[in-house]
Amino acid sequence: MKKSYYFFIILSIIVCLFLCSFSLSFSESIPAAEENYKQGEELINQGKYEEAITYFEKAVEIDPNYINAYFNIGRCKNNLNKKDAAIEAYKKVISLNPKYAEAYSNLGDVYRTLKRYEEALQMLNKAIELKPDYAYPYYNLGLISADQGDFPKAIIYYKKAIKYKPDHKWSYYYLGDALDDISIELYEEAVEAYLKAINIDPKYGDAYNGLGYAYRKLGEYDKAIEAIGKAIQLYPNFYYYYYCLGETYKDKKLYPEAINNYKKAIQNNPEYKYSHFSLGYSLDQSKLYEEAIAAYKEAIRIDKNFTVAYFNLGLNYKRLERYDEAITTLEEAIKLNPKYTNAYYNLSLIYYNLGNKEAAMKEYEIVKQLNANLALELLPLISK
């Protein structure tokens, strides 16, 4: 009897010691997880995503149910363009808390960037269902609508995002962008949207550039030049702003200024075909045909299917009476676009200038089929 009694006492002591040890270990683990989480957050704020992940992973190793740590792993993975890993992290968050609206929203954003639109829509709509006043899913729905060319729907979503988050500069910026894409009647409203984005963030280069685009389309070139100039002041190495400034000067027919800005754009990004193309056009207008030829060739080097670049290159060869090269180049344009009426038109003129009236009439007949009015203009030129 005594032996049983002593055995019971010893067993009780062992159990108590175990429970105390477990309780102490558990109570120490939670602050340790929290400490790692906080360090991870600090690193996120510094843009050090790889280092941040290390701390968040330590946090979930200590506490496997640490939802916010998984959420921030998803954020970091997404910022590092590790989309599959981001998806996995957000799905883990949702498995731990099926009502975590922000996780659905962020997962929808990742799917959007991968153009997995159906999955994105499901996640974003679920986020709205859980949290109807949450701005970000509306914003992402706007981006999807714009990607799919439905700008009126995009505008509705951007405005909803602004309703719930009036200081969200990106919603104002993309609202302006969508308004730009609909019609000239909405450019004034686009100007207001860009100005609001700038008011929220005075260092928002894209908003200044968008503002410049809207002013340019309204024919307010000086305001456009000023706005894009501010974008360049903020980000002097970004090629696209120089390209847009060049386009504005081109529209204003200030070709030397346009040429200067296209060259700066090319200096900062030699692989943007439109900078070379617009440089070629501005050199055309300045009667610098040899230089224009070089610019168009660069555009074609970047994009072998750049139809209008072949056409403009062919016109320059024609102007310089380099007819064989002109014919070859215009025929390349026609291969890419068999209904390129102006290419046939110019081929007809070239053949006429070479004394090959039969070939000129053959091209004329094609022009006649494609555009009767242009054929009427062409016929007297090849019938002299």
CA dihedral 271, 321, 359, 345 (to 10 degrees): 60
pLDDT 10s digits, 95-118? 999 999 999 999 999 999 999 999
* Relative orientation angle of helices 101-113 and 117-130, to the nearest 10 degrees: 160
Whether residue 134 has pLDDT greater than 70: yes
The reported pLDDT for the residue numbered 181 is: 84
Provide the pLDDT confidence category of residue 18 given band limits of 50, 70 and 90: very low
What is the enclosing helix (H) or strand (E) of 213? helix 205-217
Cα of 288 vs its chain's centroid, Å: 34
Provide the pLDDT confidence category of residue 3 given band limits of 50, 70 and 90: very low
pLDDT 10s digits, 40-62? 899 999 999 999 999 999 999 99
Provide the pLDDT confidence category of residue 378 given band limits of 50, 70 and 90: very high
Rounded Cα distance between 187 and 179, Å, is 7
List Cβ neighbours of 292 (8 Å cut-off, separation of 6 or more). Answer: 279, 280, 281, 283, 284, 312, 316
Tell which wins on pLDDT, 78 or 22: 78
User: Which residue, among 135, 86, 93, has the nearest Cα to 113 in the 3D structure?
Assistant: 86
Q: pLDDT over 90 for what percent of the chain? A: 89
Lookup result for tokens 């009427």: 376
User: Which residue, among 320, 339, 329, has the nearest Cα to 300 in the 3D structure?
Assistant: 329
Q: Under a CB-based contact definition with an 8 Å cutoff, are residues 100 and 129 in contact?
A: no
Output the pTM of the full model. Answer: 0.86
Whether residue 233 has pLDDT greater than 90: yes
Mean residue pLDDT of the chain comes to: 92
Structural domains in the chain? 167-236 (1.25.40.10), 239-303 (1.25.40.10), 323-384 (1.25.40.10)
pLDDT 10s digits, 185-224? 889 999 999 999 999 999 999 999 999 999 999 999 999 9
Which range is least confidently modeled, 35-44, 118-127, 130-139? 35-44
Q: Which amino acid is at 86?
A: A
The reported pLDDT for the residue numbered 170 is: 98
Rounded Cα distance between 172 and 124, Å, is 20
Calculate mean pLDDT across residues 288-297.
98
Rounded Cα distance between 282 and 253, Å, is 9
Q: Would you list the DSSP string of 25-73?
A: HHHHHHHHHHHHHHHHHHHHHTT-HHHHHHHHHHHHHH-TT-HHHHHHH
Whether residue 279 has pLDDT greater than 70: yes
Q: Under a CB-based contact definition with an 8 Å cutoff, are residues 314 and 346 in contact?
A: yes
pLDDT 10s digits, 80-95? 999 999 999 999 999 9
Burial label, 227 (beta-carbon count in 10 A; 0-12, 13-18, 19+): buried
pLDDT 10s digits, 148-188? 999 999 999 999 999 999 999 999 999 999 998 887 888 99
The reported pLDDT for the residue numbered 26 is: 32
Whether residue 10 has pLDDT greater than 80: no
The reported pLDDT for the residue numbered 184 is: 80
pLDDT 10s digits, 308-358? 999 999 999 999 999 999 999 999 999 999 999 999 999 999 999 999 999
Rounded Cα distance between 116 and 53, Å, is 25
The reported pLDDT for the residue numbered 31 is: 82
The reported pLDDT for the residue numbered 246 is: 99
